[in-house]
A = this chain, B = another copy of it.
Amino acid sequence: MKSKAVFYHAGCPVCVSAEQSVLGALDTGRFDVEIVHLGTDPARISEAEKLGIKSVPALALDGQAFHINFGASLSDLK
């Protein structure tokens, strides 16, 4: 069974860069990758918060949150 990678972003330049490079570098043979745009899908902000995510872009690997550089605070997306 594959592990789950969820990339949370808000369309910001820092987000796009992280998506192209870091997300693009993941082993998709081992990870199912989902991309969530919290700007257009704000209903999932609470899900991100529960994972401990404070800012985007962020990558959750099997539920463990990793902030990648800094694009925007989650609080600014509400």
Residues of A with Cβ closer than 8 Å to B? 3, 5, 17-18, 21-22, 25-31, 59, 61-62, 64, 66-70
Contacts and interface: CB of A to CB of B under 8 A. Distances in A.
Nearest to A25: B26
A13 to B, nearest CB: 13
Taking the full assembly, how many copies of this chain does it contain?
Answer: 2
Contacts of A18: 66
A17 B67 contact: no
Contacts of A21: 61-62, 64, 66
Nearest to A29: B27
6 contacts: A17-B64, A21-B66, A22-B22, A25-B26, A66-B69, A68-B68
